[in-house]
Amino acid sequence: MNPLSMNVLIYDGPWRMRLTALPSPRPAADEVLLRALAVGICGSDVHGFTGESGRRQPGMVMGHEAVGEVVELGTGVDTLAVGDHVAVFNIVGCGHCHHCTAAQEQRCPDKRVLGVNAGQWGAMAEQFTFPASGLFKIAPSLDPAIGLLTEPIAVAEHAISHLSLRPDDVIAIVGAGTIGIGLAIALRAHGVKTCFALDRIPAKLDLIADFGATPINIEMENAHAVIRAATRGRGADGVIEAVGASATVRTAYDLCAPGGTVVLIGNLAREFTLPLQGVTSNETTIRGSYGFTRRDFAAAVDLVGDPLLPLDRLISGSCSLAETPDIMTRMGRGELNPIKMVIRP
């Protein structure tokens, strides 16, 4: 391959993705060029790949969970050095709207998100550029696959910021995938002692139990009865929905105690319905949660650097860029159900 070109994965539409060569990018002022060390395959990537969500457009490059190595500095960059390993805060706001100036870039109406709505600017490539201000250093000794877990754990940190947490609160997590496990990790770090996690896949439930959550297999147990029994009939003080289906949103609502809060992370379904009289009479708070702030991301960087957390257990396997289309196809068909599959470009 020409040294001035790189391999990249182009999404061509539902169930179609191809490996091709593109010119290597050059960093602009205040940017750096990164060599991709590890890129996560997120559930949202898979739903976009199959066309189910409609949130990925043909011609784009996916990949928003990433760790890279700095290989070239653009002019004006003095906070990083060639060879640094970094986790990517993947949201770039407009920089001047009310939300950006309040450090809430995830709310910016004109934000660009690496690998989501930014055309051929994605991390499923051998190299990509990124603003230096959005790069957080991680230890070179940390496995890049673990480092990329910063992104989903930051999503969890942001979600729980919508709850007024007290140590004796009972929290329920609907969905024990990567985000669900990230929630269990973040909740424990914030001092929450009682946390339940719902799923139907035994392997995921076994894993989330290792991170402090009490598992509930919805194929074998009545989650509503279990949580009501544990709370003397009150229900969960907070429920976080991390699936994105209309049925699981309703489950989250049904588990919530009067006066409690339901936080919605999953965004696969286009619409859902809830009983209006129940929401109003119970004074239930319904909160959406998207992405993360820099503060959330910094907290997640600290967590992935904690040697006492067995985060390597979340890494289900790895693949090359060339192998990724087949892996995405198998995940889309339900033949693979990894916690986190990692591309090592």
CATH code at position 233: 3.40.50.720
Asked if 137 contacts 48 with a C-beta cutoff of 8 angstroms, the reply is: no
User: What is the domain count for the chain?
Assistant: 2
pLDDT tens column, 66-99: 999 999 999 999 999 999 999 999 999 999 999 9
Question: Do 252 and 235 reside in the same domain of the chain?
Answer: yes
Question: Do 187 and 124 reside in the same domain of the chain?
Answer: no
Q: Is position 300 within any domain?
A: no
Asked if 199 contacts 180 with a C-beta cutoff of 8 angstroms, the reply is: yes
pLDDT tens column, 8-46: 999 999 999 999 999 999 999 999 999 999 999 999 999
Q: Is position 234 within any domain?
A: yes
Burial category of 319 from C-beta neighbours within 10 Å (exposed 0-12, middle 13-18, buried 19 and up): middle
CATH code at position 127: 3.90.180.10
Asked if 7 contacts 125 with a C-beta cutoff of 8 angstroms, the reply is: yes
For 41, list phi and psi in degrees, rounded to 5. -95, 110
Question: Do 22 and 102 reside in the same domain of the chain?
Answer: yes
Q: Which domain holds residue 120?
A: 5-148+310-343
Q: Is position 298 within any domain?
A: no
Of 228, 223, 226, 289, give the one whose Cα is nearest residue 250: 223
Q: Is position 129 within any domain?
A: yes
Conformational region of residue 103, where left means phi above 0, alpha means psi within -120 to 50, and beta covers everything else: left
Q: What is the pTM of this model?
A: 0.94
Asked if 269 contacts 245 with a C-beta cutoff of 8 angstroms, the reply is: yes
Question: Do 61 and 190 reside in the same domain of the chain?
Answer: no
Q: Which ranges in the chain belong to alpha helices (H)?
A: 43-50, 98-101, 144-147, 150-160, 178-189, 202-209, 223-230, 246-255, 276-281, 294-304, 324-332
Question: Do 108 and 220 reside in the same domain of the chain?
Answer: no
Of 327, 322, 318, give the one whose Cα is nearest residue 20: 322
Question: Do 139 and 180 reside in the same domain of the chain?
Answer: no
Q: What does the alpha-carbon distance between residue 295 and residue 286 come to, in Å, rounded to a whole number?
A: 23
Question: Do 109 and 25 reside in the same domain of the chain?
Answer: yes
Residues of the chain with pLDDT under 50: 1-2
Question: Do 141 and 256 reside in the same domain of the chain?
Answer: no
